[in-house]
């Protein structure tokens, strides 16, 4: 098993900056605003041949004005429980505070190895001030500067000495990445918590609670993939805080890197323009798609006619791509959430579908012969041969013909629809190319 290190401390001591420095990423959002980090954020650190996982947590607060204080503190406790080693980050410029002391007391009770990281020691003289943190009774403090990296090498050297050697873990094959996306407050974190079976993401009624993209390994019922809970994507005009802006960018990055996206739609609000924007991102990045209409348990008078009407409205808004599954359910009551996962697995498998060349030509050439592309200036397009490209992210097919420049978009859609009728590509985009032989 890989070792787990948690970064904890009061707000605004530079935990996320240290996280980014050690993981050599910009994964954690960094601002001067207290309480920016709200969920546990995972990253990987490699040092002298050792690799370990690092968890960034929200700032530990007591009696603050933040309505999510209890939720953030609960996440910090969970991170401490999970970790093998804990980094207590303090601000060497401010010295010991009451909050630092209360966190140190909690860590002493945990019985875990704790390393005091005296951050913001941006020069040699300031580093001497870290001596006062001996009062915690947790060993030698390490003076570092997360901004410029000073002292982090010595810190990492010490961290790896605290690990107990675990059995070497099997190297896992690359597994699918499933992004949970949608407007803020559509229920994304709720469905992740329901699937994982624990409160891994903070859930409140406040839109935009999740600000970082959180990866969860889902390994149940014969399925194995990463679920990615993303920050809610808002219209650009409504992104007022810098940190929320970065959350939006991160959600977009997640869609860019995912294999399949589960688009959450709020049944109480229907499909809105922002859902269309998110769908557009999914399409541009050639993700597989499953639509989950959440909060269906709150809709009154729902019969088959209402379901069909709602489903038709979604497909009409998302046309011309309409070949994707739609599930009506509830993340809170867990209604049909396993069906969502089954369909997601099917969509992922459809993305990997390979059609034998002889079968492609046997089925599609007669269809094209019966309904050829429209002629242009007396010239006729003749398709001679069809093959599927290998090693592509989505199924991609090349139709070799004499005049590819005359084949327009409506005919490409016609060909795509005929292919979908003959093979199961539900939920996944497919590429159709016409090329000169």
The per-residue pLDDT for 400 is 95
If we measure between CA atoms, which residue out of 342, 177, 354 comes closest to residue 259?
177
Q: Is 324 helix (H, G, I), strand (E, B) or coil?
A: coil
Give the pLDDT mean for 343-372: 95
Tokens for 413, please give them. Answer: 């859609």
User: Residue 282 is encoded by which pair of tokens?
Assistant: 């999914």
Kindly give, in sequence order, each residue whose CB lies less than 8 Å from that of residue 299, ignoring residues fewer than 6 positions away.
267, 268, 306
Predicted pLDDT at 363: 96
For 307-352, the pLDDT digits (tens) are 899 999 999 988 888 999 999 999 889 899 999 999 999 999 999 9
Q: Give the residue, 48 or 347, on which the prediction is more confident.
A: 347
**pLDDT tens digits for range 57-90:** 777 766 555 455 566 566 667 667 767 899 999 9
Tokens 């005049």 found at? 403
Of 251 and 404, more confident:
404
Which pLDDT belongs to residue 212?
46
Q: How confident is the model at residue 131 (pLDDT cuts 50, 70, 90)?
A: confident
pLDDT at 28 over 60: no
pTM for this one? 0.58
The string of pLDDT tens digits covering residues 373-432 is 998 888 899 999 999 999 898 999 999 999 899 899 999 999 999 999 999 999 999 999
DSSP H or E run through 434:
strand 431-436
DSSP letter at 172 equals: P
Q: What pairing do the DSSP bridges indicate for beta strands 50-56 and 41-47?
A: antiparallel
Task: Return d(Cα 181, Cα 175) in angstroms, integer.
Answer: 19
Render pLDDT for 266-315 as a digit per residue (tens, 0 to 9). Answer: 998 888 877 887 888 788 888 999 999 999 988 876 778 888 999 999 99
Q: Which of 152, 147, 143 is nearest to 124 (CA)?
A: 143
Query: Is the predicted pLDDT of residue 2 greater than 90, yes or no?
Result: no
CA 391 to chain centre: 24
Q: How far apart are CA 390 and CA 206, in angstroms?
A: 45
d(CA 276, CA 286): 15
């Amino acid at each position: 098993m890989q070792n787990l290190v948690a970064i904890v401390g009061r707000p605004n001591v530079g935990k996320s900056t240290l996280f980014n420095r050690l993981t050599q990423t910009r994964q954690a959002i960094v601002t001067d605003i207290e309480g920016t980090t709200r969920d546990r954020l995972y990253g990987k650190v490699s040092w002298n041949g050792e690799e370990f996982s690092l968890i960034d947590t929200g700032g530990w607060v007591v009696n603050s004005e933040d309505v999510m204080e209890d939720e953030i503190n609960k996440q910090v406790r969970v991170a401490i429980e999970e970790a093998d080693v804990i980094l207590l980050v303090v601000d060497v410029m401010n010295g010991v505070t009451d909050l630092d002391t209360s966190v140190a007391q909690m860590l002493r009770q945990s019985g875990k190895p704790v390393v005091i990281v005296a951050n913001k020691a941006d020069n040699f003289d300031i580093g001497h001030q870290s001596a006062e943190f001996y009062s915690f009774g947790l060993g030698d403090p390490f003076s570092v500067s997360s901004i410029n990296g000073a002292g982090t090498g010595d810190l990492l050297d010490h961290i790896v000495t605290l690990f107990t050697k675990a059995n070497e873990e099997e190297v896992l094959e690359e597994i699918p990445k499933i992004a949970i996306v949608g407007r803020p407050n559509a229920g994304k974190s709720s469905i992740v918590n329901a699937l994982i079976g624990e409160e891994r993401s903070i859930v409140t009624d406040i839109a935009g609670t999740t600000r970082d993209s959180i990866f969860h390994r889902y390994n149940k019922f014969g399925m194995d993939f990463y679920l990615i809970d993303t920050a809610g994507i808002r219209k650009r005009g409504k992104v007022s805080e810098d940190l929320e802006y970065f959350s939006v960018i991160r959600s977009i990055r997640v869609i860019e890197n995912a294999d399949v996206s589960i688009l959450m739609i709020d049944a109480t609000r229907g499909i809105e323009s922002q859902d269309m924007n998110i769908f557009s991102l999914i399409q541009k990045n050639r993700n597989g798609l499953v639509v989950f209409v959440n909060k269906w348990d709150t809709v009154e008078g729902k019969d088959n006619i209402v379901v069909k009407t709602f489903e038709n409205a979604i497909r009409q808004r998302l046309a011309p791509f309409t070949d994707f599954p739609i599930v009506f359910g509830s993340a809170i009551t867990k209604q049909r959430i396993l069906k969502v996962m089954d369909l997601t697995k099917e969509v992922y498998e459809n993305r990997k579908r390979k059609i034998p060349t002889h079968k492609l030509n046997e089925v599609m050439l007669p269809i094209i012969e019966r309904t050829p592309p429209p002629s242009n200036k007396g010239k006729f397009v003749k398709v001679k041969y069809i093959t599927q490209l290998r090693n592509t992210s989505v199924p991609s097919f090349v139709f070799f013909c004499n005049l590819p420049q005359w084949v327009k978009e409506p005919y490409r859609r016609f060909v795509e629809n005929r292919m979908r009728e003959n093979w199961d590509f539900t939920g996944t985009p497919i590429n159709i190319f016409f090329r000169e032989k």
